[in-house]
Amino acid sequence: MALGHQLWPKPEDLLRQLGITDAREIELEAIAQYCGATIVYEPLHGCEARLLAHRDRAIITVDPDSHHHRKRFSAAHELGHWMLDRHQAGFACTQAMMAKSWSTALDRQRQVDPEARANRWAADLLMPEYLFGPLAEDSAITLDAARDLTRIFGTSLIATALRLIRFGSASSMLIWSRPGQRYKWFRSSPRFPAALWPRPEPGPETVAYRLLRGFKEKRGPALVKWDQWVDLPNPWQSFVREDSMRMRNGEVLTLLEWDDETPLDDFLNQQPLGRRHLVGERGRA
Ligand SMILES: [Zn+2]
């Protein structure tokens, strides 16, 4: 039985209604049918995926030439548009539009930007908290851990890494750096003090610094002084676990994990009382 068109549940409620208890059961084509949308795979020009809606039915078209994980996310993204913005007859989404909304910094912008909302909806559907959360809690916050999770959930590395810092048990950050420029964007875990931002460029002792300059580095996490990454009002002699990789375009993706959170607690305690529990909206995962 298809879903009544007046009832538009949240992704997790939808998955529970369908009795899904395992990531391998998240079959997008079947879920889309349940929501009144049909997914087809046909070549597209000028966009990665498209939604065309008429009354209570929609057609989602996804370019078949993309990587499997990207096709899956694009389909879920369009389904998100269908479930969130049914008043709009159509969407044509490029990879750049979807990627740009990852970098939308402010929570309030992410809530009103249809692309960011569709991305969030897709992430909630493909990596629901009740399946992803328990795995993330037990996991290190590293690129290899994120890669393992991409295999389970069929999702892209960046979407999965964002989820990992959101549901992981340690304070952490995901940072996208560019050669010779200020970072492109960053997100921090919910417990991370909102007033702490990354340095505009990684410090010279970081792995990312060398990767951005074309050097080869050993794969895997390394311990780095954390003032190399975060602007601190007072320097602490403490370390952060850095896991960085260079992408094809020369930009660098970094996961930071704080094993020792004492300096973070100290920082929070030094804040004026009214600001201590202020969860900053910039860069939250
Ligand atoms: Zn879109």
Q: Which CATH number fits domain 11-126: 1.10.3470, 1.10.10, 1.10.530, 3.30.1300?
A: 1.10.10
Do 11-126 and 141-276 have matching folds? no
Q: Read off the pTM.
A: 0.86
Task: Parse the chain into domains and list their residue ranges.
Answer: 11-126, 141-276
Residues of the chain with pLDDT under 70: 1-7, 100-111, 233-236, 271-285
Task: Please give the share of the chain, as a percent, with pLDDT higher than 90.
Answer: 60
Range 216-235 burial, b when 16+ CB lie within 10 A, else e: eeeeebeebbbbbbbeeeee
Separation between Cα atoms, residue 111 and residue 107, nearest integer Å? 6
Please tell me the distance between residue 162's alpha carbon and the centre of ligand 1 in angstroms.
18
What confidence score (pLDDT) does residue 5 get? 45
Please tell me the distance between residue 63's alpha carbon and the centre of ligand 1 in angstroms.
14
* pLDDT tens-place string over residues 63-100: 998 889 999 999 999 999 999 987 777 888 888 887 76
What confidence score (pLDDT) does residue 227 get? 87
Please tell me the distance between residue 115's alpha carbon and the centre of ligand 1 in angstroms.
5
- The answer to whether the beta carbons of residues 18 and 31 sit under 8 Å apart is yes
Please tell me the distance between residue 233's alpha carbon and the centre of ligand 1 in angstroms.
39
Find tokens 């990354």 and name the residue.
Answer: 198
Please tell me the distance between residue 92's alpha carbon and the centre of ligand 1 in angstroms.
7
Please tell me the distance between residue 74's alpha carbon and the centre of ligand 1 in angstroms.
8
Please tell me the distance between residue 132's alpha carbon and the centre of ligand 1 in angstroms.
23
What confidence score (pLDDT) does residue 214 get? 94
Give the 3-state DSSP-derived string for 212-251, with helices as H, strands as E and coil as C: HCCCCCCCCCEEEEHHHCECCCCCCCCEEEEEEEECCCCC
Provide CATH code, domain 141-276.
3.30.450
Separation between Cα atoms, residue 89 and residue 109, nearest integer Å? 23
